[in-house]
């Protein structure tokens, strides 16, 4: 943008106001009236900034360099703004590696990602170091450079190359999971839900190739339905519905579960929390006229031992007027063969069995997850009774402990009765002791208490005034360290919790850690390098690994020093890239790939469809380079229509003609010219159509000129013919009178002779013409001349 500078003199405007407009009124006489002339001077000053010299360069090759020497000379008394844009094929991104950067003070170098009209700063001069790699999120990256004349000009060099973009990892649905086959273009993600949930949305998503690849549709969600029918049931769950069935929030849901013939069903109530007015009924059959197994309004206890069907089907009805938030239940069902016991189940725990078919005599042993302990049942049960097998006892329960002593290197502390709400009036104390010369790191991951419940963390093995933290209500995650190998946790819930309400509970993990305050240093990696976010490897510091061009990183590229002073993962390593990226399909063609993995040495042969011509190399080969990723031997060809590439007929030379005349000639075809007799061809006898945009002939149209030797020979022949004709005319002039005299003399002789010998003979009055009997044809090539209906015949005598 150019600004203009105007001087004060040039811009000044002087305005003289009319005297009549400035006369003072109100004086006694006009003679004594004083006239005043006012002069108003208006000065306009326009300030001007220096206009930048703009430069712009665009790159489209899959690999290259951006160098500061590419910008033009700096104009006098101005500054320079340069923009370098690198755009690669759709589906690929641009990877920049800083080869060198040496900027002067005040200069600006910014690397920006381009997404449509949006520019996102990826890095600038304050963060750029030699060897650093920056990747664009789309197929375009922009480098902005601004410099001033004051001081020396900065220099930089960036190496860029294309890499294959990918879709973001899809969000895992709550109560479900996702399996991703490939994050690149064409990759597929498969979604599924946990038992009891149904998928709402597309089951399979495909990564769409675009300037910024994206999934073909939004990620699906998993929700629990209100009712349903299950046939040939094996194992599953019935869950409280995720959404109300009616607009007013009321629900009436019916589930029918039917196992194969000859099997029975077992229901295990993992959780059952109903509102006072809610009702759940379970029937041993497909209708509500079947035998009643359970009615929540008739009993206050939850059948944790489970329910068994009499036959192969069960019906569950649920009625609520309170909405989904007021009710929560989780019922697990499974089918089992008659003559066997059903498969046990233990929430928050696991078990081992002596017989996976659960036949007579099978023994099962239970154990609980960390933070839980076995309650309300034995640790071992056995399948008994040959006639009608059953377990000799019910499965136990795993409940979160209220206090205890923990001495393992790591463990879990849960609120009492977790995942169910804790009871009112709880007083729990947990004492944690780890190895000597160690200390305890406590990670409070979830904390939800009422405002009258208190959680206190003490440093040491005694309840002392040294408190590390005290919490109530809903608090976010917390991370605490003890100064000794001992740490004490105390929890108190208000006995009046039914009045003031109560929270959901808490989850805390602990682990013994070193007394140091920093993580250990990580090694360098071969064919790569590392950068650190902090000088000291304190908690939260990050080490980022990057590979040299031509290598792929295997493992996590960024490691974080965690609160327990351990790294988030093991260091990665750099693996030589031994494959090329797929160059893509070519419109109007077919291709033959020697190796679908596209390893080094793979060839791809392109063949155009009928009516199209290949523009470029038909054979691409993947080859390896000492530095950089493997690439193809040439660019992707194109198939263009024959008509669009054909050369038009250049026309006929004057006094000449063409051999095999056509309107259009394909690239590579030839056209031959000839001249008529007596003319000589000047130029190329044959020209060829050369492929191009557009295609063209390899030479100009030839010219047919008169042959000089033939022309002189023709003149001599004509002159000879004329000379011969003149001699003939002289001979004829002599011959005709002699002939006439001879005829007269011969006639006279015949007459006298006849008169002598035939004196009585009288001459006829008419006689035949002497030429009437001549029928000899002429010796000329063309004896007949036609003009209208009249014909003349030439004869020889």
Query: pLDDT per residue over 481-535, tens digit each?
Result: 888 889 999 999 888 765 556 688 899 999 888 777 778 788 888 889 999 988 8
Supply the CATH classification number for the domain 341-400.
2.10.70.10
The model's pLDDT over 299-338, given as tens digits with 9 standing for 90+, comes to 877 777 789 898 899 999 999 877 665 668 889 899 998 8
> How high is the pLDDT of residue 607?
92
Mean pLDDT of the region 102-107:
82
Query: What is the residue extent of each domain of the chain?
Result: 8-42, 54-164, 176-223, 341-400, 401-513, 528-576, 589-641, 644-709
Q: Which sign, positive or negative, has the C-alpha torsion 773, 777, 779, 781?
A: positive
The answer for residues whose C-beta is within 8 angstroms of residue 414's C-beta and 6 or more apart is 371, 372, 400, 401, 505, 506, 507, 508
Cis peptide before 694 (omega within 30 of 0): yes
pLDDT at 21 over 70: no
Is residue 652 over pLDDT 80?
yes
pLDDT at 292: 93
Spatial contact of 74 and 153, defined as CB atoms under 8 Å apart:
yes
pLDDT at 70: 65
CATH 2.60.120.290 fits 54-164, yes or no: yes
Long-range contacts of 164-168 (CB under 8 A, 24+ apart): 164/91, 164/92, 164/93, 164/581, 165/91, 165/92, 165/93, 165/137, 165/138, 165/139, 165/212, 165/213, 166/207, 166/213, 167/207, 167/208, 167/213, 167/214, 167/215
Q: What is the pLDDT of residue 259?
A: 93
Look at residue 107 in the predicted model and tell me its pLDDT: 84
State the CATH architecture for 401-513. Sandwich (2.60)
> Between β-strands 427-433 and 404-406, what pairing exists: parallel, antiparallel or unpaired?
parallel
374 neighbors 395 (Cβ within 8 angstroms): no
Do 589-641 and 54-164 fall under one CATH topology?
no
pLDDT in tens, 500-515: 566 888 999 998 887 7
Cite the DSSP H helix spans in 223-348: none
CATH class belonging to 644-709: mainly beta
Block residue for tokens 């000492």: 626
Condensed to tens digits (0 to 9), the pLDDT of residues 51-100 reads 666 788 899 998 999 988 766 665 555 677 889 999 998 889 999 999 98
The residues near 665 (Cβ < 8 Å, ≥ 6 apart) are: 646, 647, 649, 671, 689
CATH of domain 176-223: 2.10.70.10
Amino acid 498: pLDDT: 53
Q: Residue range 192-219: average pLDDT?
A: 92
Q: In the CATH scheme, what is the homologous superfamily, with its name and number, of domain 589-641? A: Complement Module, domain 1 (2.10.70.10)
Cα–Cα distance, 691 to 650 (Å, whole number): 16
CA-closest candidate to residue 428, choices 508, 374, 348, 511:
508
The answer, as to whether pTM is greater than 0.85, is: no
Short-list 317, 328, 151, 303, CA closest to 224: 328
Q: What local confidence, expressed as pLDDT, does residue 625 receive?
A: 79
Tens digits of per-residue pLDDT, 747-772?
766 655 554 444 343 333 333 333 33
Note the pLDDT of residue 605: 92
Instruction: Count CA within 13 A, CB hemisphere, residue 607.
Output: 6
Q: Which CATH class is domain 528-576?
A: mainly beta
């Amino acid at each position: 943008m150019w600004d203009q500078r105007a001087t004060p003199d040039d811009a000044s405007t002087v305005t003289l106001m009319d005297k009549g407009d400035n006369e003072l009124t109100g004086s006694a006489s006009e003679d004594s009236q004083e006239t005043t002339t006012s002069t108003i001077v208006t000065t306009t000053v326009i300030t001007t900034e220096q206009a930048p010299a703009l430069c712009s360069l665009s790159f489209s090759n899959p690999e290259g360099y951006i160098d500061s020497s590419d910008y033009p000379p700096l104009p006098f008394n101005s500054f320079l703004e340069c923009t370098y844009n690198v755009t690669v094929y759709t589906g690929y991104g641009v990877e920049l590696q800083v080869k060198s950067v040496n900027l002067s003070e005040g200069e600006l170098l910014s690397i920006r990602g381009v997404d449509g009209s949006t520019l996102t700063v990826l890095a600038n001069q304050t963060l750029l170091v030699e060897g650093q790699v920056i990747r664009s999120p789309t197929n375009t990256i922009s480098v902005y450079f601004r410099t001033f004349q004051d001081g020396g000009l900065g220099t930089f060099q960036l190496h860029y190359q294309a890499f294959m973009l990918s879709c973001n990892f899809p969000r895992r649905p709550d109560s479900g999971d996702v399996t991703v086959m490939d994050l690149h273009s064409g990759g597929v993600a498969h979604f599924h839900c946990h038992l009891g949930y149904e998928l709402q949305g597309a089951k399979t998503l495909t990564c769409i190739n675009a300037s910024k690849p994206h999934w073909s549709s939004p990620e699906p969600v998993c929700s629990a339905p209100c009712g349903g029918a299950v046939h040939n049931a094996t194992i599953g769950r019935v869950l409280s519905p995720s959404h109300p069935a009616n607009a007013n929030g009321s629900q009436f849901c019916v589930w029918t579960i039917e196992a194969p013939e000859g099997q029975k069903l077992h229901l295990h109530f993992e959780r059952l929390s109903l509102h006072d007015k809610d009702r759940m009924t379970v029937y041993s059959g497909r209708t509500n006229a079947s035998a009643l197994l359970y009615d929540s309004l008739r009993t206050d206890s939850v059948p944790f031992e489970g329910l068994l069907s009499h036959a192969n089907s069960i019906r569950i009805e649920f009625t609520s007027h309170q909405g989904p938030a007021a009710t929560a239940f989780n019922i697990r069902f499974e089918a089992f063969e008659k003559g066997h016991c059903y498969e046990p189940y233990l929430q928050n725990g696991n078990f081992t069995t002596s017989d996976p078919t659960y036949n007579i005599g099978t023994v099962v042993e239970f154990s609980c997850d960390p933070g839980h302990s076995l309650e309300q049942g034995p640790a071992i049960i056995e399948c008994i009774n040959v006639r009608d097998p059953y377990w000799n006892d019910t499965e136990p329960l795993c409940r979160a402990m209220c206090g205890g002593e923990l001495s393992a290197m790591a463990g879990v502390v849960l609120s009492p009765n977790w995942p169910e709400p804790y009871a009112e009036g709880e007083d729990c104390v947990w004492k944690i002791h780890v190895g000597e010369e160690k200390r305890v790191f406590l990670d409070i991951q979830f904390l939800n208490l009422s405002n009258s419940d208190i959680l206190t963390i003490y440093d040491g093995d005694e309840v002392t005034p040294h408190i590390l933290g005290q919490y109530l209500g809903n608090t976010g995650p917390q991370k605490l360290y003890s100064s000794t190998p001992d740490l004490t946790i105390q929890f108190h819930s208000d006995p009046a919790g039914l009045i003031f309400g109560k929270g959901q509970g808490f989850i805390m993990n602990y682990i013994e850690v070193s007394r140091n305050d920093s993580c250990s240093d990580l090694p360098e990696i071969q064919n790569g390098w590392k950068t650190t976010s902090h000088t000291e490897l304190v908690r939260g510091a990050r080490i980022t690994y990057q590979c040299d061009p031509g290598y792929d990183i295997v493992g996590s590229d960024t490691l974080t020093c965690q609160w327990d002073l351990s790294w988030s993962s093991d260091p990665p390593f750099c693996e030589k890239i031994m494959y090329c990226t797929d160059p893509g399909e070519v419109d109007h063609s077919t291709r033959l790939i020697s190796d679908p993995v596209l390893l080094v040495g793979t060839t791809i042969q392109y063949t155009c469809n009928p009516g199209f011509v290949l523009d470029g190399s038909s054979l691409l080969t993947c080859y390896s380079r000492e530095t950089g990723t493997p690439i193809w031997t040439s660019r992707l060809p194109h198939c263009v229509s024959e008509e669009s590439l054909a050369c038009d007929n250049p026309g006929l030379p004057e006094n000449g003609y063409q051999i095999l005349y056509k309107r259009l000639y394909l690239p590579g075809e030839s056209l031959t010219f000839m001249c008529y007799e007596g003319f000589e061809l000047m130029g190329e006898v044959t020209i060829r159509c050369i492929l191009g945009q557009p295609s063209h002939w390899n030479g100009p149209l030839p010219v047919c000129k008169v042959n000089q030797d033939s022309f002189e020979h023709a003149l001599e022949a004509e002159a000879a013919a004329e000379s011969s004709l003149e001699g003939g005319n002289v001979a004829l002039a002599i011959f005709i009178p002699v002939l006439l005299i001879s005829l007269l003399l011969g006639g006279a002789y015949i007459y006298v002779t006849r008169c002598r010998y035939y004196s009585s003979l009288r001459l006829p009055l008419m006689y035949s013409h002497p030429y009437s009997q001549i029928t000899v044809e002429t010796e000329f090539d063309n004896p007949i001349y036609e003009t209208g209906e009249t014909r003349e015949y030439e004869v020889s005598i």
